[in-house]
Structure formats: structure tokens, C-alpha cells
Structure 1
């Protein structure tokens, strides 16, 4: 299996502190922190969308 092509956030510019994404399968996304590239999180596109929407609209602004 070939190494995935990670996409870096455009907000990170040339810094190493960023989140990177790649696709593992048509509906699966891998997420990693550039400072810890060996640790990844796998999520479906739908679950990632729900998470990002919750962060943006404030639903997830307070930890449980």
C-alpha cells in the first residue's frame, strides 16, 4: 500500500503546527497532527462533517 498524500490546512502556511487530512477509502478520512504523524484518527466523512459543524456553531464549545 502506498503512502497517503496528506493535505495540510491552508491556514498553517509554512508552520509545522497543523492538522492534515487524507482519504483512505471513498467515505473514510484520516486526520493527524503534523507534530505527531504516527497517530491518526479515522472517521467517516459524515461524522467529520458533524464534528466540524458542531465546533463552528458552538455546540461543542464546552467540554462534557
Structure 2
């Protein structure tokens, strides 16, 4: 089993609802939630970058209301 170096945002603090990310040796990015750590999403750096830019631009603000 591969051990990932999971990183959580400093904005999460000690909250139970956190999203973690990890870079893998093959260049992909893994994402998981603290409340369901067994479910892991794999994406590419380009796809993650596009998503983060969309979040910063407010494209998903309607989902957080």
C-alpha cells in the first residue's frame, strides 16, 4: 500500500470537515475528505489548477450557499 503525504489547508484549523491533498510519484494528485478518508479522487495537476482557478473566480459560489 502506498503511503501518501496528505496535506490539509491551514484554513481548516481543527475542524472535522477537511479536504486533504497529496501529490504522488506518478504526477497525479489525490484528494480525500476527513469524514470519508477511504474514498480518494485522483486527478491531474492541470485539472486541479483549473478547478482552483474556478473557485478563486467565484464560479462555484452558488454551491456554498
Question: In which range does the TM-score fall when normalised by the shorter chain?
Answer: 0.7 to 0.9
Alignment size in residue pairs: 63
2:8 and 2:62 map into 1 onto residues whose CA distance is: 26
Bigger share in helix: 2
Change (3 A) 1:15 1:60: closer
Alignment match, 1:18? 18
Structure 2's unaligned 5+ residue stretches are: none
TM-superposed deviation, 1:62: 5.2
Alignment match, 1:52? 52
Structure 1's unaligned 5+ residue stretches are: none
User: What TM-score do the two structures reach when normalised by structure 1?
Assistant: 0.80
Task: Kindly report the root-mean-square deviation, in angstroms, between the aligned alpha carbons of the 2 structures.
Answer: 1.8
